[in-house]
């Protein structure tokens, strides 16, 4: 297993804490990236073992600056892109704003962090990247068109990057969970609707498994249900 920093982008969201726990189990430093308006003092109090940073992960300039700050701490060997958002709606009824927002939150945030990771891990001699997609990006059912398409794009990004980095000992994979049992989803859907939801811990364990082995798979999208 490569030794170095675990960088978790979107670490303050519903899935983020479980992923932080899973990355901490590797015994290496963990850096969590929160949204620009996050209260880093409160996050540091709750998670003093994590080095916290803020960034708009859909802004390539901010992502580049973020990685510059992290470079001073050491080499990133594990990147997990958790950041994302959800919106319902059909293709016929979707607004331009919704389409752009889903692509911004789900695809662009992963894209720019993957770009910076690829540049550095190639020089470092290896690493692991895991993107968080969605089962909706596989089934492509109706009801959340922009969300499903943006997550399918995350899966495609994962496969393309895995092919590009196949000779550099960098593994790039994605997880595609169903609905995750988070506080935000409980508030929106209600506990009864989440009876079959997947736990954050289970998703995080799958992410950790994809990060663990230097000889593991690459270019895969693992469904977690």
> Which residue in 52, 86, 112, 147 is the catalytic one?
147
Q: Say if CB 22 and CB 207 are below 8 A apart.
A: yes
Packing angle of the helix pair 16-24, 200-212 (nearest 10 deg): 40
Place of tokens 């390539």: 60
Question: Any long-range contacts for 26-29 (C-beta under 8 Å, 24+ apart)?
Answer: 26/1, 26/78, 26/208, 26/211, 26/212, 28/3, 28/4, 28/77, 28/78, 29/5, 29/73, 29/74
Alpha-carbon gap, residue 42 to 46, rounded angstroms:
6
- DSSP, collapsed to helix, strand or coil, labels residue 109 as helix
Q: Say if CB 18 and CB 224 are below 8 A apart.
A: no
- 131 as an active site residue: the answer is no
Q: Say if CB 209 and CB 166 are below 8 A apart.
A: no
Active site residues: 147
């Amino acid at each position: 297993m490569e030794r170095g920093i675990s960088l978790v982008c979107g670490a303050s969201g519903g899935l983020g804490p479980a992923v932080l726990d899973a990355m901490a189990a590797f015994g290496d430093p963990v850096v969590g990236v929160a949204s620009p308006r996050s209260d880093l003092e409160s996050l540091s109090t709750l998670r003093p073992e994590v080095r916290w940073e803020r960034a708009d992960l859909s802004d390539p300039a901010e992502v580049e600056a973020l990685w510059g700050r992290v470079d001073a701490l050491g080499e990133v060997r594990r990147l997990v892109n958790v950041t994302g958002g959800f919106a319902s709606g059909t293709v016929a009824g979707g607004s331009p704003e919704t389409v752009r927002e889903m692509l911004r939150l789900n695809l662009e945030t992963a894209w720019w962090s993957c770009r910076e990771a690829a540049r550095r891990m190639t020089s470092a001699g290896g690493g692991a990247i895991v993107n968080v997609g969605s089962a909706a990006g596989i089934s492509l059912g109706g009801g959340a068109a922009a969300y499903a398409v943006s997550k399918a794009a995350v899966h495609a990004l994962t496969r393309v990057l895995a092919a590009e980095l196949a000779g550099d000992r960098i593994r790039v994979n994605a997880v595609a969970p169903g609905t995750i049992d988070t506080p935000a989803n409980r508030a929106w859907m209600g506990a009864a609707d989440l009876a079959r939801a997947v736990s954050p811990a289970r998703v995080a364990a799958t992410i950790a498994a994809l990060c663990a082995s230097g000889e593991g798979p690459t270019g895969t999208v693992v469904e977690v249900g």
